[in-house]
Amino acid sequence: MVRRMLIGVSAFVTGMLITWLVANAGVGMKAPDITNETWLNSAPLHLSDLKGKVVMVEFWTFGCYNCRNVEPYVKQWHQKYADKGLVIIGVHSPEFSYEHDVAKVKTYIRDHDIRFPIPIDNDFSTWNRYGNRYWPAMYLIDKQGIIRYVRIGEGGYQETEQLIRSLLSEPS
């Protein structure tokens, strides 16, 4: 019995460590550009053109329950900080086949009043460049184009918003 418990605890701790390592793998590195051809709500954006801005790259998909729970916070940050220098890019990377339909993505963002740029990442090219593995995932990029924070999943909203404010206050 004790042996089984130790194995279970060990597996849990190992899983948590791996998740933490994956989540922090890109921190401190130059953020990869987003090169998807199809963008909604915006012409294609390039990170090199956004120097001097704080950028949040959020990986999401409209059928993801957890993504829907994060959505109100991301929309609020866009509304609150866009005029202060925050650019949110919501990379739509589909989990299921029906989520590949761009018309369904357009309907979703219209119905949910999502106003920030949405690149369509049906081929997972941006997902792979970031080494992403989870929905939702948020990458905060500083004014010099360096990934400073990665948040996987729900929660941590106050911490994320505090970091947004801190990055916005840094010199360009």
DSSP letters, 41-88, are SSS---GGGGTTSEEEEEEE-TT-HHHHHHHHHHHHHHHHHGGGTEEE
Helix axis angle, 65-81 to 157-169, nearest 10°: 30
pLDDT reported for residue 26: 86
pLDDT reported for residue 142: 98
pTM of structure: 0.87
Q: How many domains does the chain have?
A: 1
> What are 101-120's pLDDT values in tens digits?
999 999 999 999 999 999 99
Q: Domain span at residue 60?
A: 2-169
> What are 37-82's pLDDT values in tens digits?
999 999 999 999 999 999 999 999 999 999 999 999 999 999 999 9
Per-residue confidence at 84, pLDDT binned at 50, 70, 90?
A: very high
**CATH code at 55?**
3.40.30.10
